[in-house]
A and B are shown apart, each in its own frame.
Chain A
């Protein structure tokens, strides 16, 4: 059985651009949680999607948004990128099953 998958592995953007990150949960799981982990810092909760709806969001500005598709995969969009958005973005389909992450670098 495939685990939680994320794409791309690495993403390089410039300031002001938009980034789109993708996540597919474990088969049968309906929730996707997104976290941001800046270098040297802990995981910060970003967004929670379940059954296609945004259920909760962390303390992040509105330019962080996303959606969940009918197959429960999810996209995280970050608009108007800033240098401090450079981080490892992780998604999880439960509290114990994380994906490998997408490393976003903003130049």
Chain B
């Protein structure tokens, strides 16, 4: 069955450093992959979408890579700030009617 793995342990980093989050998937071939931010008790907020034929996508301090051979996406936040503290969800999508989400990685950025 389709499986999505994100670091289950929280990631703690110092302000100003680069945070790198990992998303691995197995048993399917997504056409694209989405990353979301979720704050406690709130709905996910869409951040970035990267397609299978794109190696890298950037948006301001965010960078996403997509390696279809490794079946992996990396999500980077450069010059991290305490306001970046949240849970980040990945969602590799085959383009079907529903989006399947990973459980998310909690990021804490210390001032």
Contact = CB atoms under 8 A, between A and B. Distances in A.
Given A95-B34, A97-B46, A56 B104 contact: no
A13 to B, nearest CB: 18
B101 A43 contact: yes
Interface in A83-107: 88, 90, 92, 95-101, 103
A101 B101 CA distance: 16
Contact of A45 (B4, B42, B100, B103): B100
Contact of A101 (B34, B41, B104): B41
A55 B97 contact: yes
Contact of B98 (A48, A90, A100): A48
Nearest to B99: A95
Contact of B44 (A40, A55, A90, A103): A90
Interface residues on A, range: 20 to 34
A61 interface: no
B28 to A, nearest CB: 15
Interface residues on B, range: 20 to 34
Interface in B1-20: 4
A96 B46 contact: yes
B45 A98 contact: yes
A92 B45 CA distance: 11
A43 B46 contact: no
A101 B43 contact: yes
Contacts of B93: 95
Contact of B43 (A45, A95, A99): A99
Nearest to A96: B46
A43 B34 contact: no
B64 interface: no
Nearest to A41: B103
Interface of B: 4, 34, 41-46, 49, 89, 91, 93, 97-104
Nearest 9 A-B pairs (CB), nearest first? A98-B43, A96-B46, A42-B103, A43-B101, A95-B99, A45-B98, A42-B101, A101-B43, A90-B43
